[in-house]
């Protein structure tokens, strides 16, 4: 092929280039080792010296032209590619967002705490709180649980490094805190987290309690029975039977454990109540005079009753949940079942 033919071929191929691959092929065809232009240069050897100069210039001009074309076309193709990519990945930021956002639900334990609180508020109780890292003195000593007294073993304690402090094992120290800062009459509940070295399907090392305390000049065991019966029947939304069994707590005397007729089998006997027909749901009693005195209250003049309940147990019974861990794993599939709370 002579120069004119090569130029003609180039002119006819130029317009057909669509992709970087086409362009590379074009380069090979003309400027590659065996390309037409390279070939023309080789053939120069056979020409006469005058012709060689003249022809050499012309071939060179063609080569530069092709070079320039490849450069410009390459840039154009790159630009086009980028434009197409941007177009494909385009985000329309004017599109409206999701109008229905997934709404979380109240945690069943929060719901139960609120419900318990509401019932007691209706009976004239107010809400107190205390710290989870508590003074050993408030958690034990001032509740009539002296050091080395076996009653401390009833609650396997997590101690913290600082001497004299622990993770409270119950909400009862809020009784002490309240009595230290307030003159009776006192009528409070204290919901909150408590900690014990305990771990099985019905026990978690961290769980929730609600404490109750009433102190005034005339309160009686009968008053306590009434308050707790009203509470239990409101909470379980039925006329549950309630039973008081004599028991022992260091901070109350006399002490009682409170059972309700099993809400699962209505007292017939089932797995949950272990065939007894009864479920233990509360600890309660008349505040021990030692507790009142320790808090600087005249135990001759004032009397009180107190109670403590496990929120997790109440929630498990109300919603028929057989593993306490479900409350703390926060699996969305579990929590979703409580959207209406």
Binding site for ligand DAH (CB under 6 A): 170, 172, 211, 249, 252, 283-285, 306-308
Q: How many CA atoms lie within 13 A of 341 on its CB side?
A: 19
Give dist(CA 248, CA 221) in Å, integer: 15
250 near 144, Cβ under 8 Å?
yes
- Which residues are paired to 195 by β-bridges? 206
Q: How many CA atoms lie within 13 A of 148 on its CB side?
A: 0
Task: Please indicate if the annotation marks 253 as binding a ligand.
Answer: yes
CA 211 to mean position of chain CA atoms: 26
Tell me how far, at minimum, the Cβ of 221 lies from ligand DAH, in Å: 12
Give dist(CA 55, CA 76) in Å, integer: 31
Sheet containing 303-310: give its strands across.
126-127, 186-195, 206-216, 303-310, 278-287, 252-261, 242-249
Neighbours of 90 (CB within 10 A): 8
Give dist(CA 142, CA 145) in Å, integer: 7
Q: Find all residues with CB under 8 Å of 190, minimum gap 6, and list them.
A: 127, 128, 129, 130, 171, 174, 175, 178, 210, 211, 212, 213
Tell me how far, at minimum, the Cβ of 251 lies from ligand DAH, in Å: 6
The tokens for 214 are 């009433």
Tell me how far, at minimum, the Cβ of 240 lies from ligand DAH, in Å: 20
Tell me how far, at minimum, the Cβ of 170 lies from ligand DAH, in Å: 3
194 near 170, Cβ under 8 Å?
yes
Q: Find all residues with CB under 8 Å of 297, minimum gap 6, and list them.
A: 179, 184, 215
Is residue 307 exposed (0-12), middle (13-18) or buried (19+ Cβ within 10 Å)?
buried
Tell me how far, at minimum, the Cβ of 317 lies from ligand DAH, in Å: 17
| Nearer of residues 172 and 178 to ligand DAH, judged by Cβ | 172
The tokens for 84 are 């197409």
Closest CA relative to residue 209, chosen from 318, 338, 113, 328: 113
Tell me how far, at minimum, the Cβ of 137 lies from ligand DAH, in Å: 16
185 secondary structure, DSSP code: P
| Nearer of residues 59 and 256 to ligand DAH, judged by Cβ | 256
| Nearer of residues 178 and 317 to ligand DAH, judged by Cβ | 178
> Strand locations in 123-205, DSSP E?
126-127, 133-135, 165-167, 186-195
Tell me how far, at minimum, the Cβ of 188 lies from ligand DAH, in Å: 11
| Nearer of residues 108 and 304 to ligand DAH, judged by Cβ | 304
Tell me how far, at minimum, the Cβ of 212 lies from ligand DAH, in Å: 7
Binding residue numbers: 253
Q: Detail the residues annotated as belonging to a binding site for Mg(2+).
A: 253
């Amino acid at each position: 092929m002579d120069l004119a033919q090569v130029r003609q071929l180039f002119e006819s191929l130029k317009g057909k280039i669509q992709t970087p691959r086409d362009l590379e092929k074009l380069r090979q065809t003309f400027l590659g080792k065996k390309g037409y232009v390279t070939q023309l240069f080789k053939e120069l050897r056979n020409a006469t010296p005058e012709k060689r100069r003249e022809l050499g210039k012309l071939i060179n001009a063609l080569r530069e032209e092709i070079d320039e074309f490849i450069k410009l076309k390459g840039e154009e193709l790159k630009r086009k590619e980028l434009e197409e990519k941007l177009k494909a990945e385009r985000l329309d930021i004017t599109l409206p967002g999701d109008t229905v956002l997934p709404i979380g639900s109240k945690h069943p334990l929060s719901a139960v705490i609120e419900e318990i609180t509401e019932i007691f508020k209706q009976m004239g109780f107010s809400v107190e709180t205390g710290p989870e890292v508590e003074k050993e003195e408030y958690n034990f000593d001032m509740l009539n649980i002296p050091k080395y007294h076996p009653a401390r073993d009833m609650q396997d304690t997590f101690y913290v490094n600082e001497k004299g402090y622990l993770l409270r094992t119950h909400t009862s120290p809020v009784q002490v805190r309240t009595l230290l800062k307030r003159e009776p009459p006192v009528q409070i509940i204290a919901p909150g987290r408590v900690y014990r070295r305990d771990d099985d399907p019905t026990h978690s090392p961290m769980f929730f309690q609600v404490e109750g305390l009433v102190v005034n000049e005339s309160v009686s065991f009968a008053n306590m029975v009434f308050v707790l019966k009203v509470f239990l029947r409101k909470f379980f939304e039925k006329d549950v039977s309630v039973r008081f069994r004599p028991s022992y707590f260091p901070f109350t005397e006399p002490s009682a454990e409170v059972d309700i007729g099993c809400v699962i089998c209505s007292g017939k006997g089932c797995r949950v109540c272990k065939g007894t027909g009864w479920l233990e749901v509360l600890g309660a009693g008349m505040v021990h005079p030692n507790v009142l005195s320790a808090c600087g209250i005249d135990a001759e003049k004032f009397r009180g009753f107190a109670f403590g309940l496990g929120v997790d147990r109440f929630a498990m019974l109300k919603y028929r949940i057989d593993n306490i861990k479900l409350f703390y794993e926060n699996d969305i599939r579990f929590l979703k079942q409580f959207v209406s709370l």
